[in-house]
Structure 1
Amino acid sequence: MIELQNIDFSYYGQDGSGLHDVNLTIHDGECILLCGCSGCGKTTITRLINGLIPRFYPGEVKGTVLINGKNVNDFPMYELAEHIGSVFQNPRTQFFNVDSNSEIAFGLENEARPPKELQERVDTTIKDLEIQNLCNRSLHELSGGEKQKIAFASVYAMNPDIYLLDEPSSNLDMDAIKDLQEHLRLIKKQGKTILIAEHRLYYLMDIVDRIIFLEQGEIKGIYTPKEFQKIPDKKRKAMRLRAADLSAIHSENSQSTQANPVLELKNVSMFYKKRAILENINLSAGFGEVIGIVGHNGAGKTTLARALCGLHKNTKGNFFWDGQPQDRKQRLKCSYMVMQDVNYELFANSVKTECYFGIRNPDETLIESTMEKLGLTPYKDKHPNTLSGGQKQRVAVAVSMICKKELLVFDEPTSGLDYDSMAQVAGLVKELASMGKIIFIVTHDYEFVCRTCTRVLHVDHGEQCEDILVSPTKENKMKKLFSIQ
């Protein structure tokens, strides 16, 4: 049993953040969903339970956290790690090895398991989770979704009593989310206690026992899945929560034809070392188009995005801009990419400074208005690394607008975003499109695609599969592509 009794917590140097008067009891074998907007306290609760607060995230704590009747602060960290397994929002932050099998075995090695038992447990994990295709792979070669699977496997191998998962679906494609559903059902059947902090809610409705809604660090509601699904759409959006049923989402695109081509790719292939990632890509895009790039984890979506921006060097084929050949350096000059792991592109010591970092003659009015549109003004003097994952995403999106490039590429821009933040990013993408930008978005987010995209480019198995115009008449085809019943 997990008990949070009269918890008040605030991070040092972050006024207003944390938790206020939180009381929550989680029984053994329960599956609990923590939901609410970015920064509402979901991750903070998981950090209190696994002991990262206050050991690694200092702050002022009042109240008590009990694990099976014992104060969590009385457990040495190694003992907590035996009972509690954590899967972080960014799996890269919990890796200690360079290959997948060693990473799965890492926790077991630290428990000094005998070699035979260790190998048996790794083999069982790979079989149970059906990740044979990820065996003996370099972690550096894996996609974000594949890394997430390895992070989950490394926890599963240790067989903890309690699982804490922070945004586990944020980097996963639709099929991988179905795999995650099965993994959650598996550990729930094993009697494990599960806490999931999540923005994407639809895939959990038939798994969780209770849904805890948090707002500004306080518990504002506790629901059963049936009660939660009865919340009116208008109220759910006001709560800044994502859809609980994707089948009810419809396309908002009214564009019926493609724009005149400005950017063209002809017979473009991309390689990693000598291995072909994608071959013979042919596409065109015009000003004002918003093109979603979709496909399975590891299909080459990010590689294509990087090639469009000139960031991926190993390519063959021809790129054209306004009919003129375009080399890699020219692509770098006219494009901007918001990376999937946003931490790679945050350099400044405040949000406002980040918004004009590296930009000559920045437009102060544009900076202020962009921060206001994305809800970043209250954080303008804060260090970007003190923000939540969703807030960091918004900072990177703000920079993309301020830098005034013609081609903008977003890699999973809604990863870790609540409904309100997703809607704000969607609004910004539409505004950028109305300004005549060409926009590509690597995404698994059907709700976001329906709000923003004019076309969807489907890549899989090393090739270009489909190029679909997003419209109400293509809705069934879109739902089939995203595996929505």
Structure 2
Amino acid sequence: MIKLNEVCFKYRNSKDISLDNINIEIKKGEFILICGSSGSGKTSITRLINKLIPYYYEGDLNGDVKINDKSLSDYQMFELSKNVGSVFQNPRTQFFNVDTNSEIVFGLENQGVETKILEEKLDETCKKLEINKLKNRNIFHLSGGEKQKIAFASVYATNPDIYLLDEPSSNLDIPTIDILKKHLSMLKESGKTVIISEHRIYYIMDLVDRIIYMKNGKIDKIFSNKDFLSLSEDEIKTMGLRTRNKPSLNIKEKSPIIGKSYLQVNNVSIYRKDKCLTDRLSFSANKGDIIAVLGSNGIGKTTFLRTLCGLYTDYKGEFILKSKEIDEKARKQISYMVMQDVNYQLFADSVFAECKLGIKNVKDDLINELLNDFDLYNYKNSHPNTLSGGQKQRLAIVCGLLCNKEIFILDEPTSGLDYKNMIKTVELLKSHSKDKIIFIATHDFEFASLICNRVLDLEKNKIYV
């Protein structure tokens, strides 16, 4: 059904070959996992199959890609879109509408489907995917996980034969990942071809037929499900892959801090329009604390973090630092936030220039040291937009560490991170935590269990250890 024959590709303005002599044949109805370290070429393979390479992502392409024995170069884009549906790593980049209803049926509308059928398809899709509560919503008001659900729904509504999903679990909470797995299982049972590029692999281990392991732009090995599951956990880690087992987080209620604390949050209630997202939240923290901020998709984790660093102002309550109340302006001065979508905060024309942007008196040696620690040194002269999703994420963390603020906030920082870089991120954040308080909004229990000494559960308004 899908055949890639001796495919090589190098992105424009990139010095490295992204795909090197790729040969794959995928049969109709197969469920394929593409895995490997950040920047290994996983996303590039999906871009080949949906024709974004080379027509959107330009560069030098050699070799041939065929679907149903027909070369992709012979497909019109409207024709291909009926056969191939894509869910991008960053769902925001595939939205064309401001409301969820229009977005879900956008593909069908472009195929000329009648209005009455569009309405039926909308209802059918939302019911089947259990997202009725997301109907008639402003896309810009959705959480990252909710946006991911809408992106998947917009593809599901068109009923393609081939599904391409690039890290579909990256912004989802654990219960929603379970729901995603149920939907993927449904696709497999109905004979759809599913190709997933993913770092969090545990939830699809009993669904995949084959695993394509990428390394430095090449296919290093192709495993059957049985052979992949027979690998030891140490072998999996050596390959730079995340755990195959469902991660858990063991927490218990935290005793109150005795004596003075560096930061106090007193009876903070946060609102969005008439809705109370966080109700009279109170807790204390000291320098050295690394606090996981947990809660389901849409509960208000990002809004709480934006309030904490002074970017969101619709709240009541107090933020106290060193026994003095601090307003939004003061909190902005002592905080740095790595956003969930780091594309919003990368502005310079090179990685090295990005590290110096807006940061006073930062030494080049320190920049080079951190870039080396995060495996970004060889990209110091590259444009940030040429980096993979995981590399951009690491660059944003480097910039945050260079700013050296007292409150360091990270919103879903493990999106795009392989095992090796997740461990490096854990080690480096821990080594820089002595003089700051770190807040991490995450659904990634594997990461949280390795780095966080406390947990703030926004579902229960409680802090745990």
Q: What's the TM-score once normalised by structure 1's chain length?
A: 0.93
Asked if 1:266 corresponds to 2:266, the answer is: yes
AA in 1 matched with 2:370: T
* Matching residue of 1:454: 453
- 2-side partners of 1:338 and 1:330: how far apart? 18
Supply the distance in 2 between the matched residues of 1:205 and 1:5 (Cα, whole angstroms).
27
> Aligned runs of 1:7-406 on 2, under 5 Å?
7-247=7-247, 261-406=261-406
Answer whether contact 2:13 2:386 (CA < 8 A) is retained: no
Provide the secondary structure at the position in 2 that maps to 1:449: helix
Q: Residue deviations 1:308-330, cap 9 Å, x none?
A: 10111111101100111111111
Structure 2 Cα separation of the partners of residues 17 and 199 of structure 1: 22
- Structure 1 gap ranges (5+): 470-485
Cα deviation for residue 238 of structure 1 reads: 1.6
Partner of 1:481: none
- CA drift at 1:233: 2.1
Query: What is the CA-CA distance between 1:257 and the residue it aligns to?
Result: 9.3
Question: CA offsets per residue over residues 163-188 of structure 1, 9 Å max, x none?
Answer: 00001000000011011101101111
Amino acid at match of 1:193: T
For each residue in 1:363-385, what CA deviation from the matched residue of structure 2 results, as whole angstroms up to 9, or x when unmatched? Answer: 22221211111111101001111
* Amino acid in structure 2 at the alignment position of 1:374: F
Corresponding residue of 2:443: 444
1:229, distance to aligned residue in structure 2 (A): 2.1
What one-letter code is carried by the residue in structure 2 that aligns with 1:437? Answer: K
Amino acid at match of 1:53: I
In structure 2, C-alpha distance between the alignment counterparts of 1:117 and 1:328, rounded to whole Å? 49
Deviation of 1:209 (Å): 0.9
Cα distance in 2, alignment partners of residues 218 and 200 from structure 1: 21
**Which amino acid is 1:451 matched to?**
L
CA distance in 1, matches of 2:263, 2:255: 19
CA deviation after TM superposition for structure 1 residue 12, in Å: 2.2
Q: Secondary structure at the match of 1:246?
A: coil
* Counterpart in the other structure of 1:483: none
SS at match of 1:158: coil
Question: Is the CA contact (8 Å cut-off) linking 2:267 and 2:317 kept in structure 1?
Answer: yes
Whether the 8 Å CA contact 2:294–2:457 is kept in 1: the answer is yes
Distance 1:234 1:257, change over 3 A: farther
Contact 2:292–2:440 (CA<8 Å) still a contact in 1? yes
Give 1:424 deviation, angstroms. Answer: 1.3
In structure 2, what is the equivalent of residue 468 of structure 1?
464
Paired with 1:134 and 1:372, the residues of 2 have a C-alpha distance of 42
Q: Which stretches in structure 2 are left out of the alignment for 5+ residues?
A: none
Instruction: Tell me which stretches of 4 or more aligned residues in structure 1 moved more than 3 Å.
Output: 249-252, 255-260
How far does residue 277 in structure 1 lie from its aligned partner after superposition? 1.4
- When residues 207 and 45 of structure 1 are mapped into structure 2, their CA distance, relative to the original with a 3 A threshold, is same
How big is the shift at 1:20?
1.3
Counterpart contact for 1:258–1:286, Cα < 8 Å: no
Aligned length: 463
Matched position secondary structure for 2:449? helix
For residues 412 and 112 of structure 2, what CA distance do their matches in structure 1 show? 38
Amino acid at match of 2:449: C
Deviation, 1:294, is: 0.5
Contact kept? 1:374, 1:421, Cα under 8 Å: yes
Question: Cα 1:258–1:59, aligned 2, differ >3 Å: closer, same or farther?
Answer: farther
Deviations 1:13-46 (A, max 9, x none): 2122311121111110111000001111111111
Check the 8 A contact 1:251/1:451 in 2, yes or no: no
Q: Is the 8 A contact 1:17 1:39 kept in 2?
A: no
Give, in whole Å, the separation in 1 of the partners of 2:73 and 2:30.
23
| Superposed displacement of residue 258, structure 1 | 6.0
* Residue 230 (structure 1) shift: 2.0
